[in-house]
Amino acid sequence: MTRYVIFTYVLAIILLTGNSLIFAQEDGDKLQLPTGTMTLTAPAHSQTKRSPVVFPHSTHFQFSCKSCHHEWDQASPVEGCASAGCHEKLWASPPGSTPLDAKRIKSLTGAYHKVCRDCHRSELEKIKSQGMSTKKAMSRFTAPIACEECHPASPGAVENATDSLEIPLGTLTLTAPEGSYAKRPPVEFPHGGHFDYSCQTCHHEWDGESPVQNCTVSGCHDQLEADEKTRNINDERNSLYFLAAYHKACIECHRDLRDQREGLERSGVTDESILPAYGPLACNECHADS
């Protein structure tokens, strides 16, 4: 009974205060995201030849979480790389020692070297392909590729910063900001469901470490009406209009993916694992009456 009363009060407050994009956490799932620098070490008791590796986690949030946490389902807790059943072994087993039908899992050393170094190499190639000289590209580029850059001969102390941010993983209910008259029902947005994209796809001003700001905070997309001269959401004059910002971000991505999918389908592709999925495009699919 008391719980019900409290619930009603909270609901009443939410309804009465006109809500500034208040989002209800439907399933309450949250993730504690480490934002500082971590030191990657070999599992305890293993014989090591090289120094531990300093890894600035948040420098890498411009990439999808899944470019490293490739088995993560975007809902459960994130597992360490050397967890049971994953990259448990520091080195690959000798050839022939793993039964042919057993799942082949890369060694921890192999996995790290592949993921870390391959990406750094390909990022450097990307910079070079933009017409920069190798020397200039190298001087601009801070990501380590050589052994000693990751495993320095005289390593500093093992550092594991404890800074972290709480990230909502469940469904957020997006509503029109305070002061605007909402013509449409609010939008149910599966947040964690979008974590195969980089966080900065949407949180484009986020530095990876500071608290994440709401989209409609003052100075950001806080304009409540379209520009007097144009309602075009692609017009510069509407870049701070909240409706334009949301529709541009949400609808453009879903539409691009649908177009890609239809293009592939037209060329005869039927394999669902290649065809991209896309999100809703019709008004009432997003603005659904619950």
Check binding of 55 to ligand HEC (CB under 6 A).
yes
Q: Where are the alpha helices (DSSP H) in the chain?
A: 2-16, 108-112, 118-129, 134-140, 147-150, 242-266, 283-286
CA 57, chain centre distance (Å): 12
Residue with tokens 């009060």: 9
Work out whether the CA dihedral 50, 55, 60, 63 comes out positive or negative.
Answer: positive
In the region spanning residues 121 to 140, those forming contacts with ligand HEC, defined by CB under 6 A, are 123
Instruction: Report, in Å, the least distance between residue 87 CB and ligand HEC.
Output: 8
Check binding of 13 to ligand HEC (CB under 6 A).
no
In the region spanning residues 24 to 53, those forming contacts with ligand HEC, defined by CB under 6 A, are 31, 33-34, 38, 40-42, 48-50, 52-53
Check binding of 184 to ligand HEC (CB under 6 A).
yes
Check binding of 263 to ligand HEC (CB under 6 A).
no
Check binding of 175 to ligand HEC (CB under 6 A).
yes
Return the number of the residue (4 or 156) whose C-beta is nearest ligand HEC: 156
Which of 11, 12, 14, 147 touches ligand HEC (CB under 6 A)? 147
**CB-based contacts of 6, cutoff 8 Å, min separation 6:** none
**CB-based contacts of 224, cutoff 8 Å, min separation 6:** 177, 179, 180, 241, 242
Length of the chain: 290
Residue with tokens 């404890």: 162
Return the number of the residue (8 or 263) whose C-beta is nearest ligand HEC: 263
Which of 24, 115, 233, 240 touches ligand HEC (CB under 6 A)? 115
Check binding of 74 to ligand HEC (CB under 6 A).
no
Which of 144, 226, 227, 264 touches ligand HEC (CB under 6 A)? 144
Which of 105, 132, 161, 253 touches ligand HEC (CB under 6 A)? 253
Check binding of 75 to ligand HEC (CB under 6 A).
no
- Determine the Cα–Cα distance for residues 238 and 243; give it in Å rounded to an integer: 9
Among the listed residues 234, 165, 160, 241, the one whose alpha carbon sits nearest the alpha carbon of residue 199: 165
Check binding of 203 to ligand HEC (CB under 6 A).
yes
Q: Parallel, antiparallel, or unpaired: how do β-strands 37-40 and 53-56 relate?
A: antiparallel
Which of 215, 223, 238, 241 touches ligand HEC (CB under 6 A)? 215
Q: What are the tokens at 75?
A: 């809902």
